[in-house]
């Protein structure tokens, strides 16, 4: 009786330890991803340091599925820069090039007009009704770096959620069942 | 320990690391070249110069651009986006930049070009400040790499002036 009890206890303790280790491993993965993301936010000063190009409006420069690295600095915005902006009432930010800038002398306020390289006309049609110019507060950052194709992972995952669930499930299973 | 899963994982990690490293090196190699582009712009004619009904000045120009941007191309260059902007100062705005023309140069062979054109985008001021205004024409370029850091620069050409009267 005493022997069996001992065995049961030892098994229980092993499982508990193993479970704890796995929980910690999983926690480490999640938190390190979070740390990298938040760290990038601090370094770049942009609330979303990496964006995926979703449309072909900047082809052939940026294609769908390319990744852009954003940077938000105090430097004034000038023509030719590729900025990411948010329009009131639109959920998805847009990546386009600045073609016109008008800057006030005293306040430094700017009026900005953008256009996609591959679009025939400027972006006034995309702006909110009656909006002629973008202001500083619409700008989320400017694109400084570029990495091709990597964004397809997220495009596929958002458009086919089943892939995401399978991937998350498989990874979770791998973490739980793996023994070092 | 040496299961299929572990080996596949190790191989994938290694491949991605090497790929990232190669991308970083390719991007870094761009900084080693020192481009020496040249450009010249002639304003040939003021086609139209008037005040729009809403009170803003609008100009239509015809101009020539000749430029040689071949030295901007390296092995990591996907394309060069080039544009000509009018830049001027008014009492209302300390800086006005208005893009007049732009183009995409896909390869080095096309980077030595000459073009005769009118302004592709409307040259409109915020207000009525363009009569007799001095302005610069600036040729900007934006180099888009195959991967890595984008960079941009410009050539400023000074000494252009709009006429004193509408026409």
Check CB contact under 8 Å for B81 and A78.
Answer: no
Say how many residues make up chain B.
Answer: 167
Whether B150 maps to a domain, the answer reads yes
Task: Say if residue A1's pLDDT is above 60.
Answer: no
Q: Which domain, by its residues, includes B153?
A: 33-161
Say how many residues make up chain A.
Answer: 180
Q: How much is the ipTM here?
A: 0.84
Whether B16 maps to a domain, the answer reads no
Q: Which residues of B touch A177 (CB under 8 A)?
A: none
A48 Cβ neighbours under 8 A, 6+ residues apart = A41, A70, A84, A93, A140, A141
Whether B46 maps to a domain, the answer reads yes
Check CB contact under 8 Å for A117 and B81.
Answer: yes
pLDDT per residue as tens digits for the range B123-155: 999 888 888 899 999 999 999 888 888 888 999
Domain ranges of chain A: 50-153
Residue B22, both tokens: 């190669």
Check CB contact under 8 Å for A79 and B144.
Answer: no
DSSP, res A178: -
Distance CA A107, CA B42 (A): 35
Whether B132 maps to a domain, the answer reads yes
Give the pLDDT of residue B147. 87
Task: Say if residue A132's pLDDT is above 70.
Answer: yes
Q: How far is B65 from chain A (nearest CA, A)?
A: 18
Q: Which of A61, A79, A111 sits opposite B144 (nearest CB)?
A: A61
Check CB contact under 8 Å for A145 and B150.
Answer: yes
Q: How many CB pairs under 8 A join A and B?
A: 80
Check CB contact under 8 Å for B83 and A147.
Answer: no
Q: Domain of B127: which CATH number?
A: 2.60.40
Helix axes A161-177, A152-159, angle to 10 degrees: 110
Whether B7 maps to a domain, the answer reads no
Whether B86 maps to a domain, the answer reads yes
Q: Any idea what the Cα angle at residue A110 is, between residues B40 and A89, rounded to 5°? A: 120
Confidence of residue B99 (pLDDT cuts 50, 70, 90): very high
Task: Say if residue A34's pLDDT is above 90.
Answer: yes
Q: Which of A79, A144, A174 sits opposite B140 (nearest CB)?
A: A79
Locate the chain B residue with the closest alpha carbon to A113.
Answer: B98
Residue B109, both tokens: 């062979």
Q: What is the CATH number of domain A50-153?
A: 2.10.109.10
Whether B77 maps to a domain, the answer reads yes
A59 touches chain B (CB under 8 A): no
DSSP, res A9: H
Distance CA A139, CA A141 (A): 6
Short-list B128, B123, B130, B125, CA closest to B61: B123
Whether B96 maps to a domain, the answer reads yes
Mean pLDDT of the A109-121 span: 89
Residue B30, both tokens: 């761009």
Domain count of chain B? 1
Q: Which residues of A touch B58 (CB under 8 A)?
A: none
Where in the sequence numbering do the catalytic residues of A fall? 57, 96, 123
Give the pLDDT of residue B17. 94
């Amino acid at each position: 009786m005493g022997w069996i009890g001992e065995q049961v206890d030892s098994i229980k303790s092993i499982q508990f330890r193993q479970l704890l280790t796995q929980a910690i491993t999983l926690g480490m993965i999640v938190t390190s991803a979070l740390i990298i993301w938040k760290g990038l936010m601090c370094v770049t000063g942009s609330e979303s340091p990496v964006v995926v190009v979703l449309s072909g409006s900047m082809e052939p420069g940026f294609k769908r599925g390319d990744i852009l690295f954003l940077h938000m600095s105090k430097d004034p915005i000038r023509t030719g820069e590729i900025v990411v902006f948010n329009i009131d009432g639109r959920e998805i930010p847009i990546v386009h090039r600045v073609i016109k800038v008008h800057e006030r002398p005293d306040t430094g306020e700017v009026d900005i007009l953008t256009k996609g390289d591959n679009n025939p006309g400027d972006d006034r049609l995309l702006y909110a009704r009656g909006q002629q110019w973008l202001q500083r507060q619409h700008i989320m950052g400017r694109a400084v770096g570029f990495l091709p194709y990597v964004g397809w992972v997220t495009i596929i995952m958002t458009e086919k959620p089943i892939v995401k669930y399978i991937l998350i499930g498989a990874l979770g299973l791998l973490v739980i069942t793996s023994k070092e | 320990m040496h299961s299929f899963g572990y080996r596949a994982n190790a191989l994938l990690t290694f491949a991605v690391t090497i790929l990232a490293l190669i991308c970083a090196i390719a991007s870094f190699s761009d900084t080693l070249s020192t481009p020496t582009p040249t450009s010249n712009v002639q304003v040939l004619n003021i086609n139209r110069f008037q005040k729009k009904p809403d009170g803003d000045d609008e100009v239509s120009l015809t101009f020539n651009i000749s430029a040689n941007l071949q030295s901007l191309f390296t092995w990591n260059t996907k394309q060069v986006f080039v544009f000509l902007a009018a830049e001027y100062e008014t009492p209302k705005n300390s800086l006005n930049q208005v893009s007049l023309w732009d183009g995409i140069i896909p390869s080095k062979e096309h980077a030595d070009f000459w073009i005769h054109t009118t302004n592709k985008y409307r040259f409109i001021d915020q207000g009525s400040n363009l009569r007799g205004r001095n302005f610069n024409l600036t040729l900007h370029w934006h180099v888009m790499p195959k991967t890595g850091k984008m960079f941009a620069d410009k050539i400023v050409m000074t000494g252009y002036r709009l006429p004193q009267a509408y026409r």
